[in-house]
Structure 1
Amino acid sequence: MAYETIRLEREGRMASVVLNRPNAMNAMNDVMMKELAEAFEELKDDREVQLVIIRGGGRAFSAGGDIKQMTDPDNPMDIRNVMADVSRLAEALYTLPQITIAAISGASAGLGFSMALACDVILAEESSKLAMNFIGIGLVPDGAGHFFLKERIGVPKAKQLIWTGEVMQAEKAKALGLIDEIVPDGKAAKHAGSMAGQLLQTPIAAMIASKGILHTAKLEELRQILRLESDAQQAMRQTADHLEGITAFIEKRKPIFKGE
């Protein structure tokens, strides 16, 4: 299948999903969200591929949702369709019958961070900036961000990161358990490729089977959280605080929230 905003590349038993809007720091517009869901669903049916690397083209993994499209009257996001694709994306990624590696360079924020957290192994370059920063525009995490944060660091710490929207350096993210390994700047893709080569020389079928057992046991919880996130996000998109958040972002000023 041909894609507009991503690349899906296969090489033997390995595949790469590359976010390909480098001029927008791989911000996810509605087309990219749909294409990512379709690519992960395509990989679910590929029994030859055993390992998938996810990375961003250019200088960022992903800056998150495309705020410019959120405010574009000529090309508005249909929030219902978008949330359906985001839920498809998250469930397909979580249930992939392959080992997944996120190779983070630059920013991994919002939905981009949710997607990275869904991966089995997360590598990040030293100067990476990572954030579950939906709160800055009056939204809740989506892409199962609540689920993946909770799985990695537990509910109390997950709430704090969601509520503050803190932008973390790789060192702090690793100390919290949000990423698995820090690599030198400019080396994430290369290191992920080396790791992939090593994993493909192990009994990786057994690893995939264990992943399937652990993830299947959590699948209904994931689906429930995706439904809750979808409902909450559609409600938050109608709030005055969300409008103020995205307006302040575009105007490059501090937002004034009123809890409305």
Structure 2
Amino acid sequence: MILKVDDENRVRTLTLNRPDALNAFNEALYEATAAALTSAAADPDVAVVLLTGAGRAFSAGNDLKEMQARITDPEMANQGSHFTTMIEALTHFPKPLVCAVNGVGVGIGATILGYADLVFMSSMARLKCPFTSLGVAPEAASSYLMPQLIGRQNAAWLLMSSEWVDADEARSMGLAWKVCEPDQLIAQARSYAETLASRPIPSLIAVKQSMVEPIRSEIAAATERENAHFAELLGGQANAAALADFTAKKQS
């Protein structure tokens, strides 16, 4: 089971469950997460979704083996990706989304936080957006959401540098709301999630819609721009070299 689903006190916990791959998103996990969000949105007994990861990572981002296969296999390249399906589900998710970052968050494991209403991070967690080190463009509308969330200069560093950001730095940027001791992370995140879940669901939805509706068109426009840049850069010289280096390290 690549995505665990648990319900308690009107909070649905979604746990990314590919710990051996550091919860990297492959097509199956993108699809499963999108379906789980859509299901939670429609379920009258679910008020809040809490997203976390199994094992020592939150998510290592996009599965680079699948990225490489997409470059070399024309059939895969023409199939599209459930990444888009998940981003659509996140963009239109009408209820509070709480993320508990239990370990490293790389790529989509960091940019997904732009869709969260509350972010809790383990003091041992770190984030990285490795787009420039992979020779590609940002994704998940992060080029729009991150400047909105953490300011232009913080976003520029996060998206351009491919450097790690630790939990305290993430909190000072405004990317994380609270930093917790590792063994207290889920309990604290759940406590706040249950406080939200105790409120009337129609009211929660009204608040979130009022906050998010004005920027949905901007999210869609940013996604379109990013996708165009990503398609242009995928398989290019810098990207091919980065993926070849990744493969060589895996084989050594």
Q: Distance in 1 between matches of 2:103 and 2:155?
A: 22
Pair 1:70 & 2:45 matched? no
Q: 1:157 aligns with which of 141, 154, 173?
A: 154
Secondary structure of the structure 2 residue equivalent to 1:78: helix
What CA deviation, in whole Å up to 9, does each residue of 1:232-254 have, x standing for no partner? 2111112110011112233349x
Q: Distance in 2 between matches of 1:218 and 1:47?
A: 26
Q: Distance in 2 between matches of 1:188 and 1:203?
A: 25
TM-score, scaled to structure 2: 0.89
Q: Distance in 2 between matches of 1:198 and 1:12?
A: 10
Unmatched runs of 5 consecutive residues or more in structure 1: 254-260
Q: How does 1:1-260 map to 2 (within 5 A)?
A: 4-72=1-69, 78-79=76-77, 81-83=79-81, 85-202=82-199, 205-252=202-249
Distance 1:148 1:79, change over 3 A: farther
TM-score, scaled to structure 1: 0.87
Q: Distance in 2 between matches of 1:230 and 1:78?
A: 16
Match for 2:76: what amino acid? D
Residue 44 of structure 1, CA deviation: 2.3
Distance 1:105 1:81, change over 3 A: farther
Secondary structure of the structure 1 residue equivalent to 2:148: helix
Q: Distance in 1 between matches of 2:248 and 2:129?
A: 21
CA RMSD of aligned residues (A): 2.2
Q: How many residues align?
A: 248
Residue 91 of structure 1, CA deviation: 2.8
Contact map agreement 1:22 1:60 (CA 8 A) in 2? yes
Contact map agreement 2:69 2:76 (CA 8 A) in 1? no
Contact map agreement 1:79 1:234 (CA 8 A) in 2? no
Q: Distance in 1 between matches of 2:166 and 2:189?
A: 19
Residue 197 of structure 1, CA deviation: 2.1
Q: Distance in 2 between matches of 1:54 and 1:182?
A: 16
Residue 80 of structure 1, CA deviation: 5.3
What CA deviation, in whole Å up to 9, does each residue of 1:208-237 have, x standing for no partner? 311111111111111111111222211111
Unmatched runs of 5 consecutive residues or more in structure 2: none
Distance 1:39 1:79, change over 3 A: farther
Higher helix share: 2
Distance 1:221 1:81, change over 3 A: farther
